[in-house]
Structure 1
Amino acid sequence: MTRMRQALMQAWNGQGGWGEALAFALLPVSWLFAGLVAMRRALYQHGFYKTQTLPVPVLVVGNVMVGGVGKTPITMALVKHLTEQGWRVGVLSRGYGRRTTGIQAVTPTSLAPDVGDEPLLIARSCQVPVFVSARRVDAGHALLAQHPEVQVLVCDDGLQHWQLARDLELCVFDERGVGNGHLLPAGPLRENWPRKAMPQATSGNAVPCWVLKTSGNVGPHEFAVQRRLADVAVQADGTQRPLSSWSHTPVQALAGIAKPEVFFAMLRDKGLTLTRSQALPDHADLQQLHIDASQGDVLCTEKDAVKLWAHHPHAWAVPLQTTLPAALLSAIAQHLAASPHAKLSSPHGHQTA
């Protein structure tokens, strides 16, 4: 990362420094970007661009900040909870970083380069139908055609994918909040916050957008999400090992996520000594990654493991346990029960007529 980019990132996060002057100089570009975003949104709101409705409720988990904020672990926690409550759940995703195009069904045996690392992680961890496409509506139609039993769809990312009608939005924030409050490129926002609610395609009522925070202060009508590393690590064959067993044995760690240093810090908080901590770009291709076995056992994130295990099956993945507050889960249950699509859903799946 260049010094200029680093300084700009600090300015984005409201940390001051000489990057603020650069951010200020970029404000005219941000205003232009804001205008384009507002115009595109208005075209959907006034029907010039068509928002398409799927025959089951759609919950979108997304963010307005660039970079990772922890959406996918929240998506996984939500999917697992809904499944435990008896819902038949499907997941839609863009499949960021994949080398394929069009609609792809994701199975536990798929390859990350074909479907994306996060959709593959969801498919393996949640054991539900997952489809990827740049056009989430197309992915939704394909998923429901192949899995008519599905009663609710969760879209991992897609807050700004306005072509897809949704019943509820969950907007995730991390410790950065809204940063310096400016849109790209003077700031980290993809759109203005607070965002203007989109009308529901079926009722015309505003689509609720609930705020989830993974850290920092939680205000009124916001929900705090708890995250912690699991106490065990797992290998590709399912072998488990307590993290405490490495308390006196140095290990090496790698992470190709938005904030790898957070993963490393969580390992150290578990009492582990890291001989090496390798920070990789988010969604990094790990096929050519060289691992020096002399540095100790390799610990990685679950997202990295779905790519790493193809070449290094002995690497240990440390799951991130995400706990959604009971108040949020109760509110989601009530919202689903009152969804305009509720009459189209049944214990046996959605109805198409």
Structure 2
Amino acid sequence: MSSLASTLQRAWLRRGPLACALWPVSCLMGMVVALRRLASARGWLHADKLPVPVLVVGNRIVGGAGKTPVTIAILQHLQARGLTPGVLSRGYGVTIDPAQPRLLDRDSVSTWSARDTGDEPWLIFRRTGVPVMVGPKRAVDGRALLRAHPDIDILVCDDGLQHLALQRDIEVVVFDERGAGNGWLLPAGPLREPLDTAAGPGVTAPPLVLYNAARPSTPLPGHVGVRELGDVRALADWWAGTQTTPAPSPQATPGAWALAGIAHPDRFFDALRAQGWQLQTCPLPDHHGFATLPWPAEVRDLIVTEKDAVKLDPQRLALERPNTRVWVSVLDFRPEPAFWTALDAAIDAVVCAAQPPRRPNTVQP
């Protein structure tokens, strides 16, 4: 499966023989997407409205464009503004009863593991402390989250751009260096829907486009951001939200290994090498489950991504890899200031629109 995914990722960058062979199927995909969007626009496809503003962060392409770091950055910005956000997530790779979504918050953190909720919800919760409701029905999940945390005043959907059964107020569309690839829909290209698809149900303004790259990678106007590796923390410290163990330096840690179970492992490895690390690497499929630990027992120092760290319980590693010191490299994403200005304007417009009109002063002199 990993080999097939890699082959498709390469094919999607150009209109070569494999992409051309799959193009007729992409035409059918285009028809399905167009019909769904038409049904949504005409009101034939019902879209639920939640009682608080909804902001959706999503991709038009498949294959990991950096959506989760963007979601974390947006949540931290909302918290800095004084808002109280909550998160709705599908939970990749987990099966959840639609009538029983799973709440991840400070009270339930000991109930679930990343295997129960998916790795991205756990990562979001670990980095922000924001409650996350995980399930397949975002309207149902949103109402359940608001019942559990009635102080929430804005909901952020981690993914869900194509989930047209939920009305939203703001959309943020994320692209990386690949842009739209070869410009074709699945399976001949990486696009889930056409590049210029209009905003989803409930949105009155065009989507905000954010490039997880040094420069825009599509013709769509938007903003750029910088992703960079921050602190390196001991795994137990990262889980506890502390930093008591001194961080290693590249020069003092020869022979280190690096592991990444993400869509583009080489990005992680290259970023570590740019910091001076001399590494042996262990690339894994995206959302790798770690049923068994994939690195040799004699490895002394191992650096992992945050997305992998949520699935590596320090107690388990103390038993199965007692000689390996596991370090977590923190990834931060920083959009340019103009993006925050545009996002704040969109939020202010939504909040003002939701407020009831002021009654005129009818007091007689």
Change (3 A) 1:11 1:61: same
Per-residue Cα deviation, 1:303-342 (whole angstroms, up to 9, x for no partner)? 1000012522652111001112211112211211111676
After TM superposition, give the deviation of residue 85 of structure 1 in Å.
1.4
CA distance in 2, matches of 1:246, 1:231: 16
CA distance in 2, matches of 1:251, 1:342: 54
Matching residue's letter, 2:278: T
Q: 1:89 aligns with which of 85, 88, 109?
A: 85
Matching residue's letter, 2:72: M
CA distance in 1, matches of 2:307, 2:140: 25
Matching residue's letter, 1:46: R
Per-residue Cα deviation, 1:187-228 (whole angstroms, up to 9, x for no partner)? 11100111123352xxxx634211111125337731111111
After TM superposition, give the deviation of residue 8 of structure 1 in Å.
4.1
CA distance in 2, matches of 1:300, 1:8: 26
Per-residue Cα deviation, 1:133-171 (whole angstroms, up to 9, x for no partner)? 111111111111111100111110011001111111111
Residue 58 of structure 2 contacts residue 67 of structure 2 at CA under 8 Å; is this kept in 1?
yes
Equivalent position of 2:63 in the other structure: 67
CA distance in 2, matches of 1:215, 1:308: 29
Equivalent position of 1:119 in the other structure: 121
Equivalent position of 1:262 in the other structure: 267
Secondary structure of the residue that 1:254 maps to in structure 2? strand
After TM superposition, give the deviation of residue 10 of structure 1 in Å.
2.2
CA distance in 2, matches of 1:4, 1:79: 35
Per-residue Cα deviation, 1:249-290 (whole angstroms, up to 9, x for no partner)? 22111110000111111111111111x211111111113124
Q: Are residue 35 (structure 1) and residue 40 (structure 2) matched?
A: no
CA distance in 2, matches of 1:2, 1:304: 17
Secondary structure of the residue that 2:140 maps to in structure 1? helix
Residue 282 of structure 2 contacts residue 295 of structure 2 at CA under 8 Å; is this kept in 1?
no
Structure with the greater alpha carbon radius of gyration: 2
Residue 48 of structure 2 contacts residue 165 of structure 2 at CA under 8 Å; is this kept in 1?
yes
Equivalent position of 1:303 in the other structure: 307
Equivalent position of 1:56 in the other structure: 52
TM-score (structure 1 length as normaliser): 0.89
CA distance in 2, matches of 1:38, 1:322: 33
- Describe how 1:67-216 pairs up with structure 2 within 5 A: 67-102=63-98, 103-107=101-105, 108-109=109-110, 110-200=112-202, 206-216=204-214
Secondary structure of the residue that 1:318 maps to in structure 2? strand
CA distance in 1, matches of 2:317, 2:23: 46
Segments of structure 1 that go 5 or more residues without pairing to the other structure are 346-353
CA distance in 2, matches of 1:255, 1:3: 16
CA distance in 2, matches of 1:342, 1:301: 40
After TM superposition, give the deviation of residue 82 of structure 1 in Å.
0.8
After TM superposition, give the deviation of residue 242 of structure 1 in Å.
2.9
After TM superposition, give the deviation of residue 246 of structure 1 in Å.
5.0
CA distance in 2, matches of 1:261, 1:173: 18
Q: 2:347 aligns with which of 330, 336, 350?
A: 336
Query: What's the % identity of the aligned pairs?
Result: 43
CA distance in 1, matches of 2:134, 2:302: 30
Residue 59 of structure 2 contacts residue 174 of structure 2 at CA under 8 Å; is this kept in 1?
yes
RMSD: 2.2
Residue 197 of structure 1 contacts residue 208 of structure 1 at CA under 8 Å; is this kept in 2?
yes
Matching residue's letter, 2:173: C
Per-residue Cα deviation, 1:67-117 (whole angstroms, up to 9, x for no partner)? 111100110011011101110010111011124433110134330011110
Equivalent position of 1:349 in the other structure: none
Matching residue's letter, 1:214: N
Change (3 A) 1:261 1:48: same
CA distance in 2, matches of 1:246, 1:164: 51
Segments of structure 2 that go 5 or more residues without pairing to the other structure are 319-324, 357-365
CA distance in 2, matches of 1:94, 1:78: 18
Secondary structure of the residue that 1:59 maps to in structure 2? strand
CA distance in 1, matches of 2:7, 2:295: 32
Matching residue's letter, 1:178: A
Change (3 A) 1:292 1:25: closer
Q: 1:272 aligns with which of 277, 291, 298?
A: 277
Equivalent position of 2:17 in the other structure: 21
Q: Are residue 288 (structure 1) and residue 292 (structure 2) matched?
A: yes
CA distance in 2, matches of 1:212, 1:183: 20
Matching residue's letter, 1:319: V
Secondary structure of the residue that 2:86 maps to in structure 1? strand
Residue 215 of structure 1 contacts residue 224 of structure 1 at CA under 8 Å; is this kept in 2?
yes
